[in-house]
Amino acid sequence: MPKLPKSVACVLLLLILIIPFVLLELRGIEAYPAVLLPSGDRVVTTSDGIVTFGMTELVAVHSDGQEEIIDPQAFFGNIPIDYWQPIARRGFGLDPEVITSFSLGVWTLSAKFSPQANAQQQQQLQAWMNQRLEFLNLKDIETVRVRYPKVFFDIDSQTEVSREVTRYFDYELD
């Protein structure tokens, strides 16, 4: 088999490596498979011994309004714990579909992300939710809530000074 000139092989390798990286950095779109390792480049702020960071909580709301924190690992069962936050962030699949457009000069390409669950899938989800709550022995639950508090934590005393719920999402059970 004839060998490629080094420059051509090098350009090919660079393209394979760089295109997914550029897509991720410029458009936030991650291809799979691609040679990308996790960046995790966010920061938390600390000041006067108080560190401020965001959290995600899974909460079961009883019919009397009482809240109970759920252990996500136990709730999601076989699904690895790392995936629970992305699932919850999308409203368990109920959020509307996202359509993004790319402009390539005269052409505009549209791509659909995060498909919204159809009626059948929503029914399946409802059954799954009930089954998981039952498994955790949580009875009389009306809502599964995903809460995003901002926590102010005192490092010295190892106590939470305060928290503000910045937003939340409610999944209503039938």
Site for other proteins in 131-170 (CB under 8 A): 151, 153, 155-156, 158
* Measured distance CA(92)–CA(128) in Å, rounded: 11
Q: Is 52 helix (H, G, I), strand (E, B) or coil?
A: strand
Site for other proteins in 64-93 (CB under 8 A): 71, 73, 78-83, 85-87, 89-90, 92-93
Structure tokens that stand for 29 in this block: 């779109």
Structure tokens that stand for 111 in this block: 């791509």
Nearer to other proteins, 136 or 151 (CB): 151
Site for other proteins in 113-132 (CB under 8 A): 113-115, 117, 121-122, 124-125, 128
Q: Please give the C-alpha separations between residue 137 and each of 66, 71, 134, in angstroms, as whole numbers.
A: 16, 12, 5
Structure tokens that stand for 121 in this block: 């899938």
Contacts of 59 (CB under 8 A, 6+ apart): 67, 68, 69, 70, 144, 145, 146, 147
Give the total of residues touching other proteins (CB under 8 A): 66
Q: Per rule CB under 8 A, is residue 45 in the interface with other proteins?
A: yes
Least distance from C-beta 11 to other proteins, angstroms?
9
Q: Which residues contact other proteins by CB under 8 A? A: 5-7, 10, 13, 17, 20-21, 24-25, 29-33, 35-47, 49, 51, 53-57, 71, 73, 78-83, 85-87, 89-90, 92-94, 111, 113-115, 117, 121-122, 124-125, 128, 151, 153, 155-156, 158
